[in-house]
A and B are shown apart, each in its own frame.
Chain A
Amino acid sequence: MTPEIQVGGRGGGPALIDRHVGFLHALREHGLPVSLAEGLDAAKALTCIDLSEREVLREAYAATVVKRPAHRPGFDALFDLWFPPVMGETAPKADGPTDPREQLAELLKGDPSDPALAQFAREMVARFGQVEASPGRQSWFSYPVLRALSPGTLVAGLLNQMLPVRGGLPEQRARTQINTAIKSFEDAGADDVRRRIAEEAGIERIAKSTVKAPIDQRDFLRATRAELAELRREVYPLARRLAARLTIKQKLGHRGRLDFRRTVRASLSTGGVPLNTRLKPKRPHRPELVILCDASDSVAAFSHFTLLLTVALREQFTKVRAFAFVDTVDEITAILTSDDLDLRQADIRRWGRTNYGHVFDQFAERYGDALGPKSSLLILGDARSNYQPPALDTLKVLAKKARHAYWLNPEPHTQWDTGDSLATAYGSVVAMSECRNVAQLSEFIQDLA
Chain B
Amino acid sequence: MWFGSPGEVGERLAATGYLADDAITTSVFLAGALGKPLLAEGPAGVGKTQLAKAIAEATGARLIRLQCYEGLDEARALYEWNYKKQLLRIQADDEAWDDIFSEEFLLERPLLTAIRCSEPAVLLIDEMDKADVEVEGLLLEILSDFQITIPELGTITAERKPYVVLTSNATRELGEALKRRCLYLHLGYPTPERERDIVLAQVPELPASIAEQLARTVATLRALELKKSPSIAETVDWAHTLLALGREELDEQTVGDTLGVVLKHHSDQTRARKELGL
Contacts and interface: CB of A to CB of B under 8 A. Distances in A.
Contacts of A173: 213, 216-217, 219-220
B172 A268 contact: no
B276 A339 contact: no
Nearest to A236: B227
B183 A64 contact: yes
Contacts of A237: 170-172
A429 interface: no
A175 B278 CA distance: 16
A357 interface: no
Nearest to B183: A63
A69 B34 contact: no
A60 B180 contact: no
B258 to A, nearest CB: 13
Given A41-B36, A176-B223, A169 B270 contact: no
B141 interface: no
A169 B34 contact: no
B33 interface: yes
Interface residues of A, number: 58
A50 B5 contact: yes
A343 B224 CA distance: 10
Interface stretch (B20-28, B49-57, B112-120, B155-163): B20-28
Given A177-B216, A237-B172, 10 more contacts: A55-B22, A59-B23, A69-B41, A169-B278, A172-B275, A180-B219, A237-B171, A271-B90, A340-B270, A442-B173
B83 A264 contact: yes
Chain B interface size, as a band, is: 35 or more
Contacts of B22: 55-56, 58-59
Contact of A41 (B29, B34, B173, B267): B34
Contacts, number: 139
Interface of B: 5-6, 22-23, 25-27, 29-31, 33-34, 36, 39, 41, 71, 75, 80-81, 83, 86-87, 90, 132, 170-173, 176, 179-180, 182-186, 188, 191-193, 213, 216-217, 219-220, 223, 225, 250-252, 255, 266-267, 270-271, 274-278
B179 to A, nearest CB: 4
A164 B273 CA distance: 23
Interface string A264-275: 110010011000
22 contacts: A38-B180, A53-B6, A59-B22, A59-B27, A60-B26, A63-B23, A63-B26, A63-B30, A63-B183, A169-B278, A172-B276, A173-B219, A176-B220, A177-B192, A237-B171, A251-B132, A268-B81, A268-B87, A281-B71, A339-B266, A340-B271, A446-B173
B161 to A, nearest CB: 15
A112 to B, nearest CB: 7
A241 B33 contact: no
A49 B6 contact: yes
Given A41-B36, A232-B225, A176 B219 contact: yes
